Amino acid sequence: MQHDVHIAGHAFRLRPVAASDASYLLELRAAGGQFLNRGASTLAEQRAWLDRYFVRDDDYCFIVETADGQRREGLVGLYDIDHDAKAAEWGRWVLAPRSNAAVESALLVYRFAFDMLSLASVRCRTLAGNAKVVAFHDSCGLARISASVTIDHDGTRRAGVEHRLTQRQWPDVRARLDGLAARFAATALRESGRRSR
């Protein structure tokens, strides 16, 4: 959907996806690896995807970029918002190779969900084979739901893992992620200061 949500973090920030990001998104997804849906394979398809996204309600896509806006780091989204249950899913998470934005981009999505939208819970579904991302959610302190889930991946149902974070658990997760993000930002700032001297 067209939105105007900007969320500033320590070293990174989220801003709304724009039509002008189409070619970037195409390149990003092309480098994204085996766990992404095939999705758009041409610029025209990517633009068409964005056009459909812009008119979809309750679907927030963000570009992850450095805090100074100088470099795009990836994409992330919060969608399938259930206002009655105050729940949503986050995903569409694709970061540039070698990006250091994983921790803070997750933190910023959770801040949006819990602090800005006041949701009660957020879930994320990951292909079981995407072990690094499954481990990331575990490391963040999210609980795995016990039921088995399947995820549609290019038309095939594949085994998945669902994690869930609740508003009650959020403060502990926020403290953990924020501490790492703040320390990383200090590192980035130090390096930036050295470069500018």
Partner 1 sequence: MSDGALPSEADVRRLLRTVLQLASMEDDSELRREHLDAWDSLKHMEIVFALEDRYGVRFDESEFSALDTSAAITAALHRYLAA
The site for partner 1 (CB under 8 A) is made up of 98, 100, 102-103, 131-136, 138-140, 177, 180, 183-184, 187-188, 190-191
Q: Which is nearer to partner 1, 19 or 186 (CB)?
A: 186
Q: Shortest distance, CB of residue 103 to partner 1, whole angstroms?
A: 6
Task: For residue 42, give both structure tokens.
Answer: 């041409």
Q: Please give the torsion angle defined by the CA atoms of residues 133, 159, 36 and 82, in that order, rounded to the nearest 10 degrees.
A: -80
User: Among residues 141, 136, 177, which one has the least CA distance to residue 10?
Assistant: 177
Q: Shortest distance, CB of residue 197 to partner 1, whole angstroms?
A: 14
Q: Which is nearer to partner 1, 59 or 104 (CB)?
A: 104
Q: Which is nearer to partner 1, 50 or 133 (CB)?
A: 133
Asked whether the CA dihedral 129, 160, 123, 27 is positive or negative, the reply is positive
Q: Shortest distance, CB of residue 102 to partner 1, whole angstroms?
A: 3
Cα–Cα distance, 148 to 190 (Å, whole number): 45
Q: Which is nearer to partner 1, 50 or 170 (CB)?
A: 170
Cα–Cα distance, 169 to 111 (Å, whole number): 13
